[in-house]
Amino acid sequence: MPTANIAGRDIALNDEGFMTEPTQWTEEIGTFLARQIGIDPLTEEHWKVIRFLRSDFDAQGETATLRRVSTVAGIGTKDLYTLFPGKPARKMAYVSGLPKPKGCV
Amino acid sequence: MKRLLVLGAGTAGTVVVNKLRPRLDPAEWQITIVDQDACHHYQPGYLFIPFGIYRRRDVERPRRDFIPAGVEMVLGRIEEIDPQAQRVTVAGGRHLDYDYLVIATGTHPDPSQTPGYEGAAVGDGIHQFYTLDGAVALYERLKSWEGGRLVVNIMEFPFKCPVAPLEFTFLADWWFRERSRRDKVEIVFATPMSEVFTKPVAARHLTGVLESKEIAVETDFYVERIDADAGALVAYDGRELPYDLLVTVPVNLGAEVVARAGLGDELNHVPVDKGTFLSTQHGNLFAVGDAAALPTSKAGSVAHFSVEVFAENFPRYVEGLEMLERFDGHANCFIESGFGKGLLIDFNYDTEPLPGKYPLPGIGPFSLLQETVTNHWGKMMFRWVYWNLLLRGREIPLPAEMSMYGKER
């Protein structure tokens, strides 16, 4: 299992670079990860999404899907594509230190 | 007298009453099952209708034929579920009070979730095969379709029978080749996922099958709307995918009455414990089959295997005893691939579909993740098994729990 030294801490990552220990995450690490994928700076809109993802993961044990973010947090899918361009579901999870959302079979 | 109320007489609900009636003393337990209409559909059969392999009569039977003696069947639309009052209201105002409630109301395609799907401009270019009427209309359309670009797309995950859209592309490839029209048809499979299937080993096998059949794949394609006038799917990232014939899998939602009762998640599926199906909100409420929010396939096999676990647990639970069985997420799907062949996948919450033999290790007769004629016949014979054994809760020699024997890592 690879680790990386981020903000002075050893952080566990999987081979795709996603954090494997969500409890290791801090806002500082989130900012660092966002910069890795070209999102800089993180605006208040970004943080709103990240905070929802973090608290929803604590409650549900799973990373919220785009639809869940739009229905439960009220942040539209179009906006999520603007904030996290390309593959928003993966990018949101990556920055928030969570596993990428499972598309159920 | 204690009252068990089951909502929905589809696969899961019907097997629940068939399994529980013999296990619950008729002197102590009244069992009632409600459905809005009188007709049970063999939903796996919808796939074959557009290609003329099955007809309407092959997939319909009266629901009552599968409800055992000693179970009351109520026909009527479910208007309201009140978990506090422990009462369900059906159309016409009849109240059904319960001590225990099992929600088995399934999940259903909802075109209204996609802008541009409904309305006068849609014309004859947009089809789906997830309802019997839709499958029959597509049969009529395919008969006279001249050719062009056929796009098969998935709007949202999860949806029921997750391999069906792939099977549809395989069968379409076969069907047009049989009619010497394949050179006039371009087939494109578009999915919001990054791969054609969610599990890596199966995705590799299925990608190979798609390539061999010259079916193009468009991944990460999350549809924002249908531009019916232009004849194109428009994705959130701005990509457009033009079609001449669109066969779509609409967004699937659980029953609206579940949402109104405050029992659903963002897709109206009921959050439950994934091992026992007990509601996370109410101690006398379970959800089984597609209606439940479980991290496994929405499929008849899951409904069947999970209800076997539920039926073992429920009589203990109502006695105040611990539920000993835990569902492992076992799913098992034949994948029809055309030309009289099929694949089979067998997996659970923790183990992805792997190659091997099933159900007897090394023998089969079915082969996992390989195209064989035997798998195809397994799929075709399954309709008989469904009507005669599975729905009636009779023993099928396939254990509810997944086994690693016969699988190759």
Over range B126-152, report the average pLDDT: 96
Clarify whether residues B336 and B378 are in a common domain: yes
Residue of A nearest to B333 (CA): A105
B-proximal residues of A, 78-97, CB under 8 Å: 78, 81, 85-87, 90
| Disruptive mutation site among B113, B114, B157 for chain A (greatest number of A CBs within 10 Å) | B157
Residue of A nearest to B196 (CA): A105
In this predicted structure, the answer to whether residue B118 has a pLDDT above a threshold of 90 is no
Q: Which residues contact B399 (CB under 8 A, 6 or more apart)?
A: B359
pLDDT at B123: 62
Clarify whether residues B299 and B226 are in a common domain: no
Q: Is residue B146 part of a domain?
A: yes
Place of tokens 């999350």: B222
Q: Is residue B326 part of a domain?
A: no
Q: Which residues contact B263 (CB under 8 A, 6 or more apart)?
A: B81, B83, B103, B270, B279, B281, B285, B287
In this predicted structure, the answer to whether residue A104 has a pLDDT above a threshold of 50 is no
| Disruptive mutation site among A62, A91, A92, A105 for chain B (greatest number of B CBs within 10 Å) | A105
* Strand B39-41 to B78-82 pairing: unpaired
* pLDDT tens, position by position, B354-375: 999 999 998 989 999 999 999 9
SS3 B250: coil
pLDDT at B398: 84
% of residues, chain B, pLDDT over 90: 92
Clarify whether residues B296 and B279 are in a common domain: yes
Place of tokens 């890596």: B200
CA B356 to chain centre: 24
In this predicted structure, the answer to whether residue B255 has a pLDDT above a threshold of 60 is yes
Asked if B152 and B168 count as a contact pair (C-beta separation under 8 A), the reply is yes
3-state helix, strand, coil in chain B (%, to 5): 30, 30, 40
Q: How many domains does one find in chain B?
A: 3
Q: How confident is the model at residue B122 (pLDDT cuts 50, 70, 90)?
A: low
CATH number for position B227 = 3.50.50.60
Clarify whether residues B81 and B154 are in a common domain: no
Clarify whether residues B264 and B243 are in a common domain: no
Asked if the C-beta of B194 comes within 8 angstroms of chain A's C-beta atoms, the answer is yes
Q: Is residue B397 part of a domain?
A: no
- Contact between chains at B193 and A103 (C-beta distance less than 8 A): yes
A50-53: long-range contacts at Cβ-Cβ below 8 A with a sequence spacing of 24 or more?
Answer: A50/A92, A50/A95, A50/A96, A53/A92, A53/A93, A53/A96, A53/A98
Asked if the C-beta of B197 comes within 8 angstroms of chain A's C-beta atoms, the answer is yes
Cis ω for the linkage preceding B355 (within 30 of 0): no
SS3 B235: strand
Contact residues on chain B for A76, CB-CB shorter than 8 A: none
Tell me the sheet residues that pair with B335: B343
Residue of A nearest to B221 (CA): A87
Q: Which residue range is the domain that position B96 belongs to?
A: 2-106+255-317
* ipTM, interface predicted TM-score of the complex: 0.85
Clarify whether residues B219 and B262 are in a common domain: no
Asked if the C-beta of A41 comes within 8 angstroms of chain B's C-beta atoms, the answer is no
Q: Is residue B377 part of a domain?
A: yes
Q: Which residues contact B240 (CB under 8 A, 6 or more apart)?
A: B227, B230, B232, B233, B234
Over range B380-399, report the average pLDDT: 92
Clarify whether residues B139 and B236 are in a common domain: yes
Cis ω for the linkage preceding B250 (within 30 of 0): no
Over range B59-64, report the average pLDDT: 97
Clarify whether residues B286 and B353 are in a common domain: no
Give the sheet arrangement for strand B285-287, strand by strand.
B71-75, B29-35, B2-7, B100-103, B285-287
In this predicted structure, the answer to whether residue B262 has a pLDDT above a threshold of 90 is yes
Clarify whether residues B134 and B195 are in a common domain: yes
Count H helices and E strands in chain B, helices first. 7, 26
In this predicted structure, the answer to whether residue A1 has a pLDDT above a threshold of 80 is no
Select from B195, B226, B249 the last residue of a domain.
Answer: B249
- Contact between chains at A67 and B266 (C-beta distance less than 8 A): yes
- Contact between chains at B198 and A85 (C-beta distance less than 8 A): no
Q: Is residue B401 part of a domain?
A: no
The H or E element that residue A54 is part of is helix A44-60
The partner residue sitting opposite B157, judged by closest CB among A78, A81, A104, is: A104
Mean of the per-residue pLDDT values for chain B? 95
Q: Is residue B14 part of a domain?
A: yes
Q: How confident is the model at residue A105 (pLDDT cuts 50, 70, 90)?
A: very low
Asked if the C-beta of A61 comes within 8 angstroms of chain B's C-beta atoms, the answer is no
pLDDT at A5: 87
Residue of A nearest to B203 (CA): A105
* pLDDT tens, position by position, A75-103: 999 999 999 999 999 999 999 999 988 76
Calculate how close chain B gets to A88, using CA atoms only, in Å: 10
Q: Is residue B222 part of a domain?
A: yes
Q: Is residue B407 part of a domain?
A: no
Q: How far apart, in whole angstroms, are the C-alpha atoms of residue B123 and residue B93?
A: 39
> Of B105, B107, B100, which Cα lies nearest the Cα of B20?
B100
Asked if B327 and B306 count as a contact pair (C-beta separation under 8 A), the reply is yes
Helix residue ranges per DSSP H, B187-344: 200-212, 256-260, 300-317
Clarify whether residues B245 and B267 are in a common domain: no
Contact residues on chain A for B199, CB-CB shorter than 8 A: 105
Q: How confident is the model at residue A22 (pLDDT cuts 50, 70, 90)?
A: very high
Asked if the C-beta of B266 comes within 8 angstroms of chain A's C-beta atoms, the answer is yes
Q: How far apart, in whole angstroms, are the C-alpha atoms of residue A67 and residue A92?
A: 13
Select from B249, B284, B303 the last residue of a domain.
Answer: B249
Clarify whether residues B291 and B171 are in a common domain: no
* pLDDT tens, position by position, B286-307: 999 999 999 899 999 999 999 9
Clarify whether residues B224 and B116 are in a common domain: yes
Residue of A nearest to B198 (CA): A105
Select from B249, B270, B288 the last residue of a domain.
Answer: B249
The partner residue sitting opposite B236, judged by closest CB among A62, A71, A78, is: A78
- Contact between chains at B158 and A103 (C-beta distance less than 8 A): yes
Tell me the sheet residues that pair with B3: B30
